[in-house]
């Protein structure tokens, strides 16, 4: 496949061009966004029952995966389900491995946070210790007033044809991109998004982009050159995260963006759907035809746009990760208000690395030297990437900087079975370090 063009963050180029010395960066503190360790002897609560206390927690944080047909290996939708798995539930919640929630607890407050508080973990521990009493079904609280998912669907786009993934070079996975025509003839604002996998047994995660007609022509050449639908795109598009409309990972539901926010999509744009497939290893022939649902509006109160945060030298060979390196660190910061000309509101944050990522963080470095954590992930898992909207937008003033830091583990212990460490650098099929925020003008 021809080399894809990477659009560098020209905001970052501007920052370095105006102040080259500012491109030497101090690392972020190791404890950024990290809470004090929970006490090991957290006392289990007493008098806990399934219907009154435990079921609401499972419904809110677990059953999106743990349901019939879900990604999890067993359901947790009934008392019998939960009682049979009570030991596993107690162990996983105490270890904080479930429910999966990558962001550090003390970094920022996000909507749709499915993590459990220490009080809730103690509640589950008490229920397990008391052998899982059911309690009275009448004690069950009413269901959530706002059900998960989009409030309405105005447009649904599907892959033009089905695709049958095959085991690939990336841990046996197949990473594929597909072009979908954007049919709207006027400027529309995306105000909510949901991804509907055609085959949940195959689709591991998906990212939705909207690209210009110029970029679409380039990607169409890749599509045309492939005998199968779409083209191989490990790492997603090199187009830049400023084109991302949304993403999906197992266990997440589509949702409306916070009230009044919208991402503009121009007529003539093209949707690119990047899908990470995990094919069956037994050679079974199965296919997928994933669709994307959009909530659209003609006007919004606040137009948001993404800013990417990465060193423009990294895609040009400046992110070398030596073979055997256990903790290779890259840090970068710049002031986006040099371009915007005024302060900004930050509405969400996300981080992107590949398989050798170990941890990452994104923060505001204030003009006075203080730090505000936007997103910190202590134990990076490529399979659990997400975008995180803040409960309240965070203000970035002129003179403040967005700062990203990524740690990589390219040691022998972190390789696929039987492989030796190899030098890595920035590439679609190697590594990346990108922070992204969604901003609006004030």
Q: Using CA atoms, how far apart are residues 158 and 291, in angstroms rounded to an integer?
A: 4
Name the DSSP letter for residue 323.
Answer: T
Burial letters 309-337, b for 16+ CB under 10 A, else e: bbbbbbbeeebebeeebeebebbbbbbbb
Burial of 193 (0-12, 13-18, 19+ CB in 10 A): buried
Percent above pLDDT 70 for the chain = 88
The rounded radius of gyration (Å) of the Cα atoms in the chain is 22
pLDDT tens-digit readout, 263-317: 999 999 999 999 988 887 665 658 999 999 999 999 999 999 888 899 999 988 9
Long-range residue pairs from 58-61, CB within 8 A, at least 24 positions apart, any chain: 58/82, 58/89, 59/143, 59/144, 60/114, 60/144, 61/99, 61/114, 61/115, 61/116
Predicted confidence (pLDDT) at residue 408 exceeds the cutoff of 50: yes
Q: What pLDDT, on the 0 to 100 scale, is given for residue 71?
A: 74
Task: Give 7-33+304-442's CATH code, choosing from 3.50.50.60, 2.60.120.230, 2.102.10.10, 3.40.50.720.
Answer: 2.60.120.230
Q: Can you give the pLDDT at residue 383?
A: 75
Domain ranges of the chain: 7-33+304-442, 50-139, 148-301
Q: Which of 371, 379, 408 is nearest to 107 (CA)?
A: 371
CB-facing half-sphere around the CA of 301: CA atoms within 13 A = 6
> Parallel, antiparallel, or unpaired for β 302-303 and 261-265?
parallel
Mean pLDDT of 197-224: 90
Predicted pLDDT of residue 266: 94
Specify the DSSP element, H or E, that contains 118. helix 118-129
Question: Which one-letter DSSP state was computed for residue 50?
Answer: I
pLDDT interval class at 226 (50, 70, 90) = very high
- Burial of 104-134, coded b for 16+ CB within 10 Å and e otherwise, reads bbebbebeebbbbeeebbbbbbbbbeeebbb
At residue 11, does pLDDT exceed 90? Answer: no
Mean pLDDT over 400-425 rounds to: 93
Q: In CATH terms, are 7-33+304-442 and 148-301 the same topology? A: yes
Q: Which CATH class is domain 148-301?
A: mainly beta
- pLDDT at residue 339 in the model: 84
CB 91 within 8 A of CB 59: no
- For the stretch 144-203, pLDDT in tens is 666 678 999 999 999 999 999 987 666 678 889 999 999 999 999 999 999 999 998 888
Residue that wins the pLDDT comparison between 38 and 195: 195
């Amino acid at each position: 496949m021809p080399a894809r063009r990477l659009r560098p963050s020209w905001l970052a180029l501007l920052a370095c061009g105006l102040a080259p010395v500012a491109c030497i960066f101090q690392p972020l503190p190791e404890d950024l966004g990290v809470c004090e360790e929970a006490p090991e002897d957290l006392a289990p609560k007493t008098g806990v029952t399934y219907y009154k206390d435990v079921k609401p927690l499972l419904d809110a944080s677990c059953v999106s995966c743990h349901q019939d047909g879900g990604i999890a290996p067993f359901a947790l939708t009934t008392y019998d389900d939960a009682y049979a798995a009570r030991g596993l539930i107690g162990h996983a919640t105490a270890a904080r491995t479930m429910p999966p929630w990558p962001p550090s607890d003390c970094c920022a407050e996000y909507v749709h946070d499915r993590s459990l508080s220490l009080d809730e973990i103690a509640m589950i521990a008490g229920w397990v210790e008391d052998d899982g009493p059911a309690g009275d079904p009448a004690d069950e609280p009413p269901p959530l007033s706002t059900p998960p998912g989009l409030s309405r669907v105005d447009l649904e786009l599907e892959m033009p044809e089905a695709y049958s993934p095959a085991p690939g070079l990336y841990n046996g996975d197949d990473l594929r991109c597909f072009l979908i025509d954007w049919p709207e003839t006027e400027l529309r604002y995306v105000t909510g998004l949901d991804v509907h996998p055609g085959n949940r047994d195959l689709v591991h995660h998906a990212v939705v982009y909207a690209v210009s007609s110029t970029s679409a022509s380039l990607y169409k050449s890749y599509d045309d050159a492939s005998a199968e639908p779409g083209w191989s795109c490990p790492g997603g598009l090199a187009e830049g995260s400023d084109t991302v409309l949304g993403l999906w990972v197992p266990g997440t539901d589509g949702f409306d963006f916070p009230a009044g926010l919208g991402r503009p999509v121009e007529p003539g744009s093209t949707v690119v759907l990047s899908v990470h497939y995990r094919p069956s290893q037994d050679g079974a022939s199965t296919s997928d035809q994933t669709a994307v649902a959009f909530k659209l509006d003609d006007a919004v109160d606040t137009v948001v746009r993404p800013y990417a945060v990465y060193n423009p030298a990294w895609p040009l060979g400046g992110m070398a990760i030596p073979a055997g390196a256990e903790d290779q660190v890259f840090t970068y910061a710049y002031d986006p208000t040099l371009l915007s000309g005024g302060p900004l509101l930050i509405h969400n944050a996300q981080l992107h690395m590949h398989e050798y990522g170990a941890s990452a963080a994104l923060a505001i470095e204030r003009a006075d030297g203080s730090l505000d954590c936007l997103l910190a992930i202590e134990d990076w898992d490529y399979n659990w990437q997400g975008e995180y909207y803040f409960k309240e937008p965070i203000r970035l003033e002129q003179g403040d900087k967005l700062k990203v830091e990524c740690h990589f583990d390219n040691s022998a212990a972190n390789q696929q079975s039987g492989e030796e460490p190899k030098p890595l650098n920035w590439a679609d099929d190697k590594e990346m370090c990108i922070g992204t925020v969604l901003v609006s003008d004030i």
